[in-house]
Amino acid sequence: MSVKSAGRVIDIMNLLKDYPGGLPLKEIAAKLSLPQSSAFHLIQTMHSRQVLTMTERKQYKLGPKLIQIGTRALETLDVNTEAQPLLRELMEKVEETIFMAVLMEKELVYVAKVDNYRSVRTSAQIGMRKPLYCTGLGKAFLAFLPEAVSDNILSSINMEAITNNTITDPVVLQAQFPQFRAQGYAIDDEENETGLFCLAAPIYNAAGEMIAAVSVAGPKSRVSSRHSFIAEELLHTSKVISQRNGY
């Protein structure tokens, strides 16, 4: 059994995350199909505990308490604490930006980013969600997750073109997986951001489940010319992180 009002608290936070400017009570109720009066009591409770803030115009937004909680969530993520120093090492070896992400509801969520000083302009930020089909990390999930899971995800997502290189046909995408599995890492060739080339490898836990993915991202010319060196370092790092997680 699930607790209705508890679920609604989560729904409200989840809704407001997509409205940086905030939403008024009425709209929150409408978008979640809640009676206004129900939404009222919930929002009041959340507001009084700093989970929500209210602007002068009675627009509700995510509050400062959630900054704290969210940061802790990031810090306590097992894979993250284990991985941080290793990701930093990897960055120093390959001299490109490193990302790590976990899977959430058919999308990936960045949980770590180690910037290279030769700063590449990538829009990705910690906490951000991105689709799976057009990112190195996402393709790593699709290729290395159990096929049933991967197929299920692929069959339920919409593959829009982001760049000229974005693969929009699930069959074409799946055709890449055997190679990814053979080499141990996935490739994103400007499929999400023009000019950006990524190698991404899976991370496993003690149960042998894929729990995260790590990637090296950089300008295509710079990365593809050092492809095999980067791949080697990436695979080494991802393997060590998996081991630290009991794999």
Q: Which residues bind DNA (CB under 7 A)?
A: 1-6, 8, 24-26, 34-38, 40-42, 44, 57-58
Residue 181 CB, nearest approach to a copy of itself (Å): 25
Q: Please report where in the chains the tokens 């951001």 appear, as a residue.
A: 193
Distance (Å) of CA 38 to CA 48, 50, 187, 230? 16, 19, 47, 54
CA quadruple 29, 33, 37, 39: dihedral positive or negative? negative
Q: Please identify, using beta-carbon distances, which residue of 42 and 212 lies nearer to DNA.
A: 42
CB-CB contact of 189 with 220 (8 Å)? yes
**Minimal CA–CA distance to 134: which of 94, 110, 169, 182?**
169
Q: Please identify, using beta-carbon distances, which residue of 59 and 168 lies nearer to a copy of itself.
A: 59
Residue 68 interacts, among DNA, a copy of itself, none and using kind-specific CB cut-offs from 5 to 8 Å, with a copy of itself
Residue 216 CB, nearest approach to DNA (Å): 38
**Minimal CA–CA distance to 111: which of 128, 96, 130, 89?**
128
CB-CB contact of 108 with 138 (8 Å)? yes
Residue type, 46: M
Q: Please identify, using beta-carbon distances, which residue of 84 and 205 lies nearer to DNA.
A: 205
Q: Please identify, using beta-carbon distances, which residue of 16 and 173 lies nearer to a copy of itself.
A: 16
**Minimal CA–CA distance to 214: which of 190, 245, 191, 178?**
245
Residue 206 interacts, among a copy of itself, DNA, none and using kind-specific CB cut-offs from 5 to 8 Å, with a copy of itself
β-pairing verdict for 196-204 and 210-219: antiparallel
Residue 221 interacts, among a copy of itself, DNA, none and using kind-specific CB cut-offs from 5 to 8 Å, with none
For residue 246, the number of C-alpha atoms closer than 13 Å in the C-beta half-sphere is 9
Residue 244 CB, nearest approach to a copy of itself (Å): 14
Residue 153 interacts, among a copy of itself, DNA, none and using kind-specific CB cut-offs from 5 to 8 Å, with none
Which residues in this chain contact a copy of itself in the complex, by CB under 8 A?
A: 1-3, 5-10, 13-14, 16-18, 20-22, 41-42, 44-46, 48-51, 53, 55-56, 61-78, 81, 102, 104-105, 109, 111, 117, 119, 125-129, 206-207
Residue 123 CB, nearest approach to a copy of itself (Å): 11
